[in-house]
Amino acid sequence: MKRFVPLVVPHFGIKEIAFCLRGYFQKNSTESLVQVLSQMYLGRRVMLLSSGSAAFFLILTALSQKSKQKEVVLPAYTAGNIITCLRQAGLVPVLCDISLEDFNLDFQSCLKAINKNTLAVIAVHMFGIGIAEIQDLAKKIPGGVYLIEDCAQAMGSRVDNLPCGTFGDLSFFSFNRGKNLPIFSGGFILA
């Protein structure tokens, strides 16, 4: 019999399972979670959804209805579902180079990819992307182009005491397995 090494093994004990079940049957647990997340993220508005992908898709759909621009610039190295969400929203992914030093978005390549058809730029927090670079990018992006932070792998991360997800116009997070805070499924938008 072949046995494979699992990609992700959540380490849940009986106490964690009991805590989750108690929260499931507790009244106002959703409102409590929204309030805690809003406090964690400097009072920003929080919208809970079924997954990080659903959160990203909703952001894209809302932005595409506000604008005629249809291109979204993102790093060539990212999760495949990001491209799927873009296409489902009727948008065109424009891949830019990554830095071979840290595999994050190459900021010069990103800026060169922005044009009159650009709706948004996706900054993916996958390998500790530099916040100074994101802040600089946000200043250099032309008006009308949104900066969206993909924080699916950055839940709870802070830089200079500021939480990741608060540097762009919008951000989205995931609670799926393999993420920083895995609670089986779910995600949220930060606005």
Mean pLDDT score, 39-61: 93
Going by pLDDT thresholds of 50, 70 and 90, the confidence category of residue 9 is: low
Does residue 155 come out as left (phi exceeding 0), alpha (psi in the -120 to 50 range) or beta? Answer: beta
Domain ranges of the chain: 31-190
More confident residue, 92 or 20: 92
Among residues of the chain, what percentage have pLDDT more than 70? 89
CATH 3.40.640.10 is the classification of domain 31-190: yes
Question: What's at 56, amino acid-wise?
Answer: F
- Percent of the chain that is helix, strand, coil (3-state, to 5): 35, 25, 45
- Residues with Cβ within 8 Å of residue 9, at least 6 apart in sequence: none
CA distance 105 to 75: 5
Please write the tens of the pLDDT for every residue from 91-142.
Answer: 999 999 998 888 888 989 999 999 999 999 999 988 777 777 778 887 888 8
Mean pLDDT score, 76-86: 91
How much is the pLDDT for 191? 93
